[in-house]
Amino acid sequence: MEEWDLRTLFLEESSIIEKEDEWGEWLHELATSNTVLETLNFYMTDLGRIRFEDLELIARNCPSLTTVKISDCEILDLLGFFRHATALEEFCGGSFDD
């Protein structure tokens, strides 16, 4: 496995189309290949089909992660992510469903 040195991934408001059979694969690759990520932003994109376990893995593997902006999702699905994102200063994208 090759390790990446990506500190910032900023895709906010980008128009990106994922192949249906590859939904979320990019996030899994990022989660397993990077340990220096500080900013992850894919807010207001169509990249909504992600595995919350991959976000948790990013938080666990990237201790310098300070900013995360993601597509809207149920905030309760992110408990594991928040448990590990100890350096987090800015978050956007979660919501509570009634």
Dihedral angle over CA of 63, 36, 42, 78, nearest 10: -20
The pLDDT, as a whole number, for residue 48 is 64
**Whether residue 22 has pLDDT greater than 90:** no
Beta strands at 90-95 and 67-74: parallel, antiparallel or unpaired: parallel
CA–CA distance, 93 with 45 (Å, rounded to integer): 11
Torsion of CA 59, 61, 64, 65, to 10 degrees: -30
In the block, residue with structure tokens 């995360």: 68
- Summarised one tens digit per residue, pLDDT across range 46-95 is 776 788 999 999 999 999 999 999 988 888 999 999 999 999 999 998 77
Of the candidates 85, 53, 40, 92, the one whose C-alpha atom is nearest the C-alpha of residue 71 is: 92
